[in-house]
């Protein structure tokens, strides 16, 4: 549908014409049509169509051509919005038939413009659409309405440009420029900006074209012009297609399709077909009523005439034909309703099945990650215990391989869980203040060992124009840069890897920062570049390289998309690879408090710890951690034993497993709090933190530790809880 059509359809009431006895009814019908227009602009197409249908019936009753034209035009707009060209043309032509019977140039302007849009936007006959647009422009100039004239010129510009007639298209575009800049409403400014962008794509000015497209998107988003936004995404996709940037084209095609499906559901389209049939039935019924009325009049006039019988037979036959037609139409409607009901039931069943499958998938991922983390806690812990108890094994390749394998498996489990959370849209970006240079420095320290092992130089460049403190999700940003940097170091030897952050643009309070990670390593072949962001895909691996799952870049792409950005890849075999992406952050005015790193936990010695854990291996591991730091601890295997032991002994901290047989950690904690135990309780669990935190805190626990964990992390949480209690 035309970007301008909505503006041309639902106009204020025109001067009322007609007979004096019809003025009140006409005014009421006009108010009803304008109310339908308000529902249309709000996206409530079902109510807009229903109200327009009622207005059409009322218009037939008073036999008013103006109201009939206006009502048919309003109905046609709804079908045109859903690209139902066949029905839209039918209703617009009926509107024009009634409009040509009266003197109302504004109404003719609207209808001709709408007819042009159907032929143009549905690609039925663009040249015929241009002819209708020109007829509409003649009427707009006749009534000397500057707004309508500008809309007409923009419509013609759009149609000419669509068939690559840029000479005529640009001429109409320039004619409308002055009015758009002085008095243009948002829809008008959006159309002018979009067409300007298409023209600049054509004359090979891609940077200016993209800037204009971004302005058009901003207008649509600011004024909530969602159907306009669909056109904006299509224009951007076409732009990237011209410049053979097919990945970006694919992204914007997907965004356009998703928004279009959201705006125009299949259920609403089915409703339109049903309504079209109902309108036809109403028309037949109105015609039947008129024939019956005429029949009665004729019978009264000709009851003494010999021709009465013949006239009755003729009218009766016509009546029978109409009744039969009405009957067939009604049968067709009933069948259509039955088919629609069946289709809706099938859609509902498919939706429920898909939701059930999604829920089962989420439950499976949660369960399998929990079941893997629990034994991994034991493997990592026992490996540390062996290294402590047998110093001679500290440098054992077998022991180090065991610990590495456990941590590698844990990393894989975390990656799978993260991907599932992103796909289920369970990740919300946080807004916290952070210092970009500090986060990059932490990443540098974390990956320096990879750089050293591969004899690489790690270069960091941060634009000084970037604000010192930013506001955003630093954890997700660090994860993106960490994955890209470690990947670059892994596939580069005796070379360099450069991490850069540059200020690209400032829009209001948002600072657009362009990040890039570049290396001079092995590079990626053109055949592999199209699949590099797919899950479980690995390229460029050598025989001795056994690390990596192929999930890192998939996570990177999904996180960048979550930020509202796009990641771009440039690579050549033997020359290196560059990943580039842009993310916008607000400037933070808050001071960032730096908490000193805790390196000694000597003040925790001799604290009494109660461990509530049913897994024997995990009991052993946790107890050894406590013993190593000279803490006194008791171990119980379930919640019932925990309730019993606290009656005779007191503890400084309770470490509580969540998933236990008999009585889980939540219920145990609730009962401990109920009997007055105020000791800090820390949940130890292999579930993801986001899955359990609400229930953990609701049960009365004070903090959470996710297994497996480093001993220092546990001691830091214990010390924090002891400080808060004291």
For tokens 């034993």, the residue is 641
C-beta separation of 515 from 501 below 8 A = yes
| Same domain flag for 12 and 160 | yes
Q: By residue range, what is the domain housing residue 681?
A: 602-725
At residue 544, the pLDDT reads 46
Question: Is residue 184 situated within a structural domain?
Answer: no
**H/E element, 673:** helix 665-674
pLDDT band at 380 (very low <50, low <70, confident <90, very high): low
Question: Is residue 252 situated within a structural domain?
Answer: no
| Same domain flag for 341 and 454 | no
Round to whole Å and give the CA distance between 588 and 436: 11
| Same domain flag for 450 and 404 | no
| Same domain flag for 390 and 523 | no
| Same domain flag for 656 and 510 | no
**H/E element, 245:** none
Q: What is the mean pLDDT of residues 382-411?
A: 61
Q: What is the pLDDT of residues 271-298, one digit of tens each?
A: 555 565 556 555 545 554 554 445 555 5
Nearest alpha-carbon partner for 169 in 120, 241, 211, 210 = 120
Among 66-75, 300-309, 600-609, which is the least confidently predicted range? 300-309
Question: Is residue 438 situated within a structural domain?
Answer: yes
CATH number of the domain enclosing 563: 3.30.565.10
At residue 667, the pLDDT reads 94
Among 18-27, 163-172, 197-206, 299-308, which is the least confidently predicted range? 299-308
Nearest alpha-carbon partner for 157 in 138, 139, 176 = 176
| Same domain flag for 123 and 37 | yes
- Checking if the pLDDT of 474 tops 80, the result is yes
Q: Check residues 481 and 310 and name the one with the higher pLDDT.
A: 481
Q: What is the pLDDT of residues 103-145, one digit of tens each?
A: 888 888 888 888 888 888 888 888 888 998 888 888 888 888 8
Q: Which residues of 107-117 are buried (b: 16+ CB within 10 A; e: fewer)?
A: bbbbbbbbbbb
What letter would DSSP give residue 431?
A: -
Q: What is the mean pLDDT of residues 453-469?
A: 92
Q: Check residues 691 and 427 and name the one with the higher pLDDT.
A: 691
| Same domain flag for 528 and 677 | no
What letter would DSSP give residue 706?
A: E
Tell me the average pLDDT of the chain.
79
- Checking if the pLDDT of 531 tops 50, the result is yes
| Same domain flag for 567 and 474 | yes
Round to whole Å and give the CA distance between 515 and 470: 15
Q: For the range 450-456, what are the long-range contacts, defined as Cβ-Cβ under 8 Å and sequence gap of 24 or more?
A: 450/486, 450/489, 450/490, 451/489, 451/497, 454/489, 454/490, 454/492, 454/493, 454/494, 455/493, 455/494, 456/489, 456/492, 456/493, 456/494, 456/495, 456/496, 456/497
| Same domain flag for 37 and 120 | yes
pLDDT band at 27 (very low <50, low <70, confident <90, very high): confident
Question: Is residue 347 situated within a structural domain?
Answer: yes
Helix, strand, coil percentages, rounded to 5, for the chain: 65, 10, 25
Cβ-Cβ contacts under 8 Å for 384 (sequence gap 6 or more) = 403, 711
Question: Is residue 231 situated within a structural domain?
Answer: no
| Same domain flag for 28 and 40 | yes
CATH number of the domain enclosing 643: 3.40.50.2300
- Checking if the pLDDT of 422 tops 70, the result is no
Integer CA distances (angstroms), 268 to 84, 191, 338, in order? 12, 27, 16
- Checking if the pLDDT of 224 tops 70, the result is yes
Q: What is the mean pLDDT of residues 196-200?
A: 91
- Checking if the pLDDT of 12 tops 50, the result is no
CATH number of the domain enclosing 20: 1.25.40.10
Question: Is residue 255 situated within a structural domain?
Answer: no
At residue 644, the pLDDT reads 92
Q: What is the pLDDT of residues 647-699, one digit of tens each?
A: 999 999 999 998 888 899 999 999 999 999 999 999 988 777 778 888 999 99
Count of positions (residues) in the chain: 726
Task: Please calculate the CA angle 166-167-171 and round it to the nearest 5 degrees.
Answer: 105
Listed in sequence order, the DSSP H helices in 45-165 are 45-62, 65-81, 85-99, 105-121, 126-142, 146-162
- Checking if the pLDDT of 635 tops 90, the result is yes
| Same domain flag for 558 and 641 | no
Question: Is residue 566 situated within a structural domain?
Answer: yes
- Checking if the pLDDT of 148 tops 60, the result is yes
At residue 546, the pLDDT reads 40
The residue out of 587, 619, 634 marking a domain boundary is: 587
Q: What is the pLDDT of residues 499-530, one digit of tens each?
A: 999 999 998 889 999 999 999 999 888 888 87
C-beta separation of 599 from 685 below 8 A = no
Question: Is residue 242 situated within a structural domain?
Answer: no
Q: Considering its fold, how many domains does the chain have in total?
A: 5
Q: Check residues 52 and 278 and name the one with the higher pLDDT.
A: 52
Q: Check residues 378 and 495 and name the one with the higher pLDDT.
A: 495
Nearest alpha-carbon partner for 240 in 211, 208, 206 = 206
Round to whole Å and give the CA distance between 349 and 72: 37
Which pair of tokens denotes residue 43? 């996206």
C-beta separation of 35 from 51 below 8 A = yes
SS3 annotation, 185-231: CHHHHHHHHHHHHHHHHHCCCHHHHHHHHHHHHHHHHHCCCHHHHHH
| Same domain flag for 401 and 324 | no
């Amino acid at each position: 549908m035309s970007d301008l059509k909505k503006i041309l359809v639902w106009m204020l009431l025109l001067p009322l014409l007609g007979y004096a006895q019809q003025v009140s009814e006409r005014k009421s019908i006009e108010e009803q049509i304008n109310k339908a227009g308000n529902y249309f602009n709000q996206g409530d197409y079902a109510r807009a169509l229903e109200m327009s249908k009622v207005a059409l019936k009322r218009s037939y009753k008073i036999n008013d051509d103006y109201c009939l034209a206006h009502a048919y035009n309003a109905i046609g707009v709804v079908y045109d919005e859903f690209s139902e060209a066949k029905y839209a043309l039918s209703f617009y032509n009926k509107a024009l038939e009634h409009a040509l019977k009266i003197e109302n140039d504004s109404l003719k302007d609207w209808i001709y413009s709408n007819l042009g849009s159907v032929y143009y936007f549905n690609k039925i006959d663009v040249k015929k659409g241009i002819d209708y647009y020109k007829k509409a422009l003649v009427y707009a100039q006749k009534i000397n309405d500057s707004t309508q004239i500008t809309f007409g010129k923009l419509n013609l510009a759009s149609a000419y440009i669509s068939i690559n007639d840029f000479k005529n298209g640009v001429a109409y575009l320039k004619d409308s420029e002055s009015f758009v800049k002085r008095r243009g409403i948002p829809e008008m400014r959006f159309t002018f900006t979009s067409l300007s962008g298409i023209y600049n794509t054509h004359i090979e000015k891609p940077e200016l074209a993209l800037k204009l497209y971004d302005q058009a998107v901003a207008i649509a988003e600011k004024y909530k012009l969602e159907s306009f936004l669909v056109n904006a995404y299509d224009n951007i996709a076409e732009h990237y297609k011209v410049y053979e940037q097919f990945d970006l084209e694919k992204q914007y095609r997907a965004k356009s399709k998703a928004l279009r499906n959201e705006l125009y559901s299949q259920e609403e389209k089915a409703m339109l077909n049903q309504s079209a049939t109902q309108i036809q039935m109403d028309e037949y019924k109105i015609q039947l009523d008129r024939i019956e009325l005429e029949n009665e009049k004729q019978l009264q006039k000709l009851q003494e005439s010999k021709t009465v019988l013949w006239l009755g037979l003729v009218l009766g036959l016509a009546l029978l034909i109409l009744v039969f037609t009405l009957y067939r139409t009604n049968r067709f409607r009933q069948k259509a309703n039955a088919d629609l009901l069946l289709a809706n039931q099938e859609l509902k069943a498919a939706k429920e099945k898909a939701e059930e499958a999604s829920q089962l998938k989420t439950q499976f991922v949660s369960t399998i990650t929990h079941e893997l983390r629990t034994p991994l806690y034991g493997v990592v812990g026992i490996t540390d215990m062996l290294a402590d108890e047998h110093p001679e094994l500290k440098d054992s390749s077998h022991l180090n391989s065991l610990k590495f394998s456990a941590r590698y498996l844990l990393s894989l489990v975390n990656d799978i869980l993260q991907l599932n959370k992103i796909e289920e849209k369970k990740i919300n970006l946080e807004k916290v203040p952070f210092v970009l240079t500090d986060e990059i420095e932490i990443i540098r320290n974390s990956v320096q060992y990879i750089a050293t092992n591969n004899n690489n130089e790690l270069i960091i460049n941060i634009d000084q124009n970037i604000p010192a403190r930013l506001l955003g999700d630093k954890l997700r940003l660090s994860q993106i840069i960490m994955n890209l940097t470690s990947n670059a170091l892994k596939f580069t030897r005796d070379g360099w890897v450069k991490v850069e952050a540059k200020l690209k643009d400032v829009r209001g309070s948002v600072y657009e920062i362009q990040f890039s990670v570049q290396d001079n390593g092995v590079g990626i072949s053109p055949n592999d570049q199209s699949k590099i962001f797919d899950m479980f895909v690995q390229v460029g691996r050598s025989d001795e390289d056994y690390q990596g799952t192929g999930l890192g870049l998939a996570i990177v792409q999904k996180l960048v998309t979550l930020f509202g950005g796009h990641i771009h890849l440039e690579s050549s075999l033997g020359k290196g690879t560059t990943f580039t992406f842009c993310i916008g952050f607000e400037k933070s005015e808050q001071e960032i408090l730096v908490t000193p790193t805790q390196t000694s936990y000597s003040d925790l010695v001799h604290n009494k710890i109660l461990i509530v854990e049913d897994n024997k291996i995990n009991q052993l591991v946790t107890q050894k951690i406590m013993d190593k730091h000279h803490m006194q601890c008791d171990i119980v295997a379930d919640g019932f034993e925990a309730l019993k032991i606290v009656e005779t002994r007191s503890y400084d901290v309770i470490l509580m497993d969540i998933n236990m047989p008999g009585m889980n950690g939540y219920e145990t904690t609730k009962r401990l709090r109920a009997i007055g135990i105020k000791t800090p309780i820390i949940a130890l669990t292999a579930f993801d933190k986001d899955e359990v935190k609400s229930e953990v805190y609701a049960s009365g626990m004070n903090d959470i530790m996710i297994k497996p964990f480093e001993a220092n992390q546990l001691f830091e949480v214990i010390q924090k809880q002891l400080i808060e209690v004291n």
